[in-house]
Amino acid sequence: MAPDVPDGNAVPSHSGGAQDTGRVLSAEERSEYERLRRAATLRHRRTRRLGASILLLVALLLSPLAVVSAWVQDTVSDTDRYVETVAPLASDPAVQKVVINRLTARVVEQVDVEAVTASLTKVLADADAPPRVVAGSEALTGPLTSAVRTVVRRDVERVVTSDLFQQVWEGANRRAHAAVLRMLTGEREGALRATDDAIELDIGSVVDQVRQRLVDQGFERAALIPDSDRTVTLFRTAELARAQDAMRVLDIVGTWLPALTIALAALAVWTAPGHRLMLLITAVGIGLMMVALLIALAAMRRVYLDTVPVATLPPDAAAAIFDTFVRFLRDSTRTLIVVALVTALAAYLYGPGRAAVALRSGARRGAGAAGRGLSRAGLRVGPVGRRLAARRSWATGVVIGAGALALVLWNHPTVGSVALVLGLVLVALAAVAVLVAVAASGPPGDGTASGHATP
């Protein structure tokens, strides 16, 4: 008797062999089997979706901290980056005004105008000058003080607004870069240092330059400018110690936290059942977190301006200092928002949406028309076109991957650099599409009209 041959309702073999050893299922058993298989598949998809959601949530929560920590680590560890950060302060009018006012006041304080007028009065009295002249000399204190202040301010302003001040400022900050590390660790040494509740910048080099300039111009009293008390308070806060602890932690994790955040986001996309949809959600989430970071920076700016006493720094100078110090952080955040928007748009355009399908169809028709036109004009793409026609998806992936790698390797990418890379990627993708269309439109001897490479 011939053996039974299992039909489509046989229980599949689990031994991995070529033959089925299960018996034939009844209709009820087959229905139960399909139900259990669908339930197992559904549980598997739910588990993957839950795992991807947890990974995405952690990545989103870490993303602002990753950006801030990378900014802190980059600013502290790179001398050129640090100098580039603080250099604009030397040319900011509000900061220059603070420096001019303080240096002028300190020089004028060293000039004892009252003693000068008293000596003049005594000389006139001893010389039997008319009483009216002697009395008038006593009233010279105010005009002389004003004249001294005018002369000193003019010379100080000439120095502070010159290129010399810019050079001295950058040189002092470059030499003081090592002091930034000491400031973060709380050591009270160097040009930039932390006191009990404030962060101060020693402008001793600038004072020396101004003092020497005034002495050279004949204002010998400027040599009496003291060497002490030559600091400018940049920040004053009761939470300095806590901020130093936070910055130390951020500096330690500045390298690894961004990498961990990217890895978690990538793992969330890979784990999710729908990779494209999860990529879209991840990109939108990252963009929203970057917007939240910008809002937090704006709130911190308001708090900082409200806590800085006007006697310490005028509001415009305090605003200039804050904006200068965080401008690279803002630039990085805006760049990530643009990258997130581009990624979300790309994920949508590769999906089944009506607008996405219409756009892809229009692009294919345009590339096909361009390829046919170039083919009729005599363009032949040869082996390159045949390989692209056979491996178009690979070529597309390589182009997109190269664009992403360029942004990763770009030193401090900006919105402009993202736009440049995006434009180059779009041009490259269009070129690939046109070359494939030319290969498909060419004569049989030059390629294949079906888009497959000839052997």
Average pLDDT rounded to a whole number, residues 257-277: 90
Please report the pLDDT score of residue 344 as a whole number.
93
Centroid of chain to Cα 200:
25
Share of the chain above pLDDT 90, in %: 20
Mean pLDDT across the chain, nearest whole number?
A: 77
Which parts of 78-188 fold into alpha helices (H)?
A: 79-86, 93-109, 113-126, 131-138, 141-160, 163-175, 177-185
Q: How many CA atoms lie within 13 A of 146 on its CB side?
A: 5
Contact, 332 vs 258, CB < 8 A? no
What residue type is 279 in one-letter code? L
> DSSP letter string over 274-298?
SHHHHHHHHHHHHHHHHHHHHHHHH
pLDDT of 394 strictly over 90: no
- Grouping H, G, I as helix, E, B as strand and the rest as coil, residue 182 is helix
Angle CA(412)–CA(164)–CA(221) in degrees, nearest 5? 140
Average pLDDT rounded to a whole number, residues 197-221: 70
Most confident of 119-123, 134-138, 411-415: 411-415
How confident is residue 253, by pLDDT bands cut at 50, 70 and 90? confident
Q: What is the pLDDT of residues 18-29, one digit of tens each?
A: 444 456 767 776
Distance CA(79)–CA(90), nearest Å, equals 17
Q: What is the pLDDT of residues 140-164, one digit of tens each?
A: 556 666 766 777 778 788 888 888 8
Distance CA(400)–CA(397), nearest Å, equals 5
- Grouping H, G, I as helix, E, B as strand and the rest as coil, residue 381 is coil
- Grouping H, G, I as helix, E, B as strand and the rest as coil, residue 232 is strand
Counting every residue, how long is the chain?
Answer: 455
H/E element, 200? strand 198-202
pLDDT of 110 strictly over 70: no
